[in-house]
A and B are shown apart, each in its own frame.
Chain A
Amino acid sequence: MAEYTHPETLVSTDWVAQNLKNFSLRIVEVDVDTKAYDEGHVPGAIGWAWNTQLCDTVRRDIIPKADFEMLTGSSGISNETTVVLYGDNNNWFAAWAFWQMKIYGHRDVRIMNGGRKKWLAEGRELSKESPSLTVVSYTATPPDYTIRAFLKQVQDGFDKGKFDMVDVRSGPEFTGEILAPPGLPETCQRGGHIPGARSIPWAQACNEDGTFKSADDLKTLYANAGISGDKPIVAYCRIGERSSHSWYVLKYLLGYSNVTNYDGSWTEWGNLVAAPVERGAAKAAP
């Protein structure tokens, strides 16, 4: 059985439970539902709100570098700190945080396999206490946009075979039957997908308990859709967090070297005037 390419970026709930008093760690919960942290969290963990602390709150963008430095420093995270991220929805926004920490050059950041769901299901200790934090200095690197795809790159290459495009939304979102996950607000004007994209919903990378599938299973999953890593890969979803999850799988678990997250995603593409849109099922993999 093949190993993950970067197993050092993934820790188990057992490992976290054994390292709760490891002062070189900072455990951070990042949820879709920003109230989940207050209900009870991994003892010693702090909570980050994706919508106010991991986004620019004025323009649509990731958190600016100076704000990232302030967030990490005020969270007691130095450049040398090992950061363990976890969250609800099988780590959607934990992966979003992971992606941004890599954009700003944080060396040692890891994801707790299975996320909040697995920690709860295993009946592990929870706390309502927020840890007291000592503010430290943090210096981010200039943003590394080799792991981020912007609209222009996608527009310039989607129909030229320059890269493989992976749409990680659900099937009905991909086909255009719905514009957002059931129960969530619609954020685009049109439904469908970027022409040529392959449909590989993010959840197919996970087991029922929220952990990632084995390296062999993941490789097969993507290979069956024609994604083998021999070309650059662009992942997208609706707003960029589910595609962070798949980006992590492709880059860190499978080790494909050139993988970007198009965080503009369908909310950007599906609102563009005159952008080409494909509806219905994906065409067969080449």
Chain B
Amino acid sequence: MSCSRRTFLVRLGGMALAGSLAPSWASGFEKRRLAMVVDLNRCRQARPGCDLCRQACHSAHNVPSIPDPAHEIKWIWDEEFQRVFPTEVHPGLPPEIATSSVPVLCNHCENPPCVRVCPTGATFVKPNGIVGMDEHRCIGCRYCMPACPYSSRSFNFVDPRPFLRTTNTDYPTRTKGVVEKCTFCEERLASGRLPACVEACPVQAMTFGDIGDPAIQQRLASSRILRRRPELGTSPYVFYIL
């Protein structure tokens, strides 16, 4: 008995050591409140034609390319500014801004309605603010889809695997009948890397980190900041610089 207790204590110490040696992204990771700032002025510099964030995200997460728009899976994609921020449209807004493309994704809300309505806890808020998704627990009731006021959730109406051009074997594929969405690349964060879209952006339009990080604070303080539909009280943690 004493031997097994000793083994247990050795393992416990080993785990503590491993924790202290983990990359900076992973250490204290659970204590963070993660946020993203998208600089739309920089994003527009790469337009038109830039699609690198979507490509990087969708290939990293085995998001299928389904031609039928009714059955599409989208984690990050483009929408027109005037559709994303309808209340910001006014007669003085330059038309090129009103019709410009804005990357949209899950807002990882502070108060997410999707999590509130889920009948199985298949979607949930992590301590670091990420709105997570357990596709193995999801029963496919799709209540989270009308609950999300940002259309950020996709349902696998069909088997997604035949629509994958390439498969990233480091990330799971999904089955038909479950909901999925952007996860702020939690699997990449765990190994100390930035989200795929942030890394792929050629003009560094996206800043990612803890809401208290100086880089994030500096960006949030310096410019006109928009959040999608703030009147709904969801408190999105994806911020846009107009």
Asked if chains A and B come from one complex, the reply is no
Tell me the B residues contacting A by CB distance below 8 Å: none
